[in-house]
Each structure stands twice: as structure tokens, then as C-alpha cells.
Amino acid sequence: MNAYSKGNHAIGSKEFCPKAGQLIKIKKNGRVVGKKKLVVYGEPVLGDIETTDVENFNSILRERLGRLVWDCKCFSKVKRRLVCAVELFKFYWNFINRFKCGFSPARLEGLTDHLWSWHEFFYHRPLTNLN
């Protein structure tokens, strides 16, 4: 299982316990009239179970990657090309994109010490194995 954080450095510690919840939207006549929150795993705080972050990011992906929009010319017909486009966007979002706080998510997590540029991305040479 992979665990990702939002600035929570306790993931590698022994105290980290995965938690998962489910949000079920109750609809009537096509409108959301209520929400039901369920515990799936662990002991999550019910008030923290929400889908707005995921829905927001899905919206950003559809806006920025035309391949994810069904009714457009650039809709992906080849899975490998879609995977490559999403991976490229993930790198951009995490390492190159500057948020309002002035940092990228990778910098906030301590994965890098600066904002990357496209030039740096394309010409980066990974460290070789020194063994």
C-alpha cells in the first residue's frame, strides 16, 4: 500500500495508521440533498471525510488535459499516451507549478529545494548508482 501525505511527516513513523472513509451523496431530482459518511478502515474523523478536494483536482485535470474530456478532438484513444500525459501533468503540478504560498507541493514535502523549470525537467540527468 502506498501512503501519501499533505505535509504530514508522521507517515514513516510507527504512529501512522491508515484511515479511510466513504462519502455517499444522497440525491433527489438530480440535486444533492444530503450526505452519508461511513468508516471504511481505521478510525477517521467523520468531519474530515469529504470529496471536495478530489472533485476539485478532477476538474483541474479535465481543464488542463483535454485527453480526459470525452467530447473533444484530443480524447485519448491509446492508453499509453494517456498515462504519459497524466504523468507529465503530475510532475508539472508537483514540481513546476507555483501555488499562492509561493511553493510547489514537492517543495512543501521536502522533495526538492526549489521550483523546477521545463528546461531543468527535460535536461535533468539522474544520479547514477555509485556502487
Per-residue pLDDT of the chain in tens (131 residues, 90 and over written 9):
455 555 555 455 556 677 888 889 999 998 989 999 988 888 888 888 888 888 888 888 888 887 777 776 667 778 888 888 889 999 999 999 888 888 888 898 889 899 999 999 888 877 666 55
C-alpha grid cell, residue 6: 499533505
The pTM of the full predicted model, rounded to 2 decimals, is: 0.60
Tell me the C-alpha distance between 112 and 115, whole Å.
Answer: 8
Cα pseudo-dihedral 104, 107, 113, 117, rounded to 10: -30
Domain ranges in the chain are 73-131
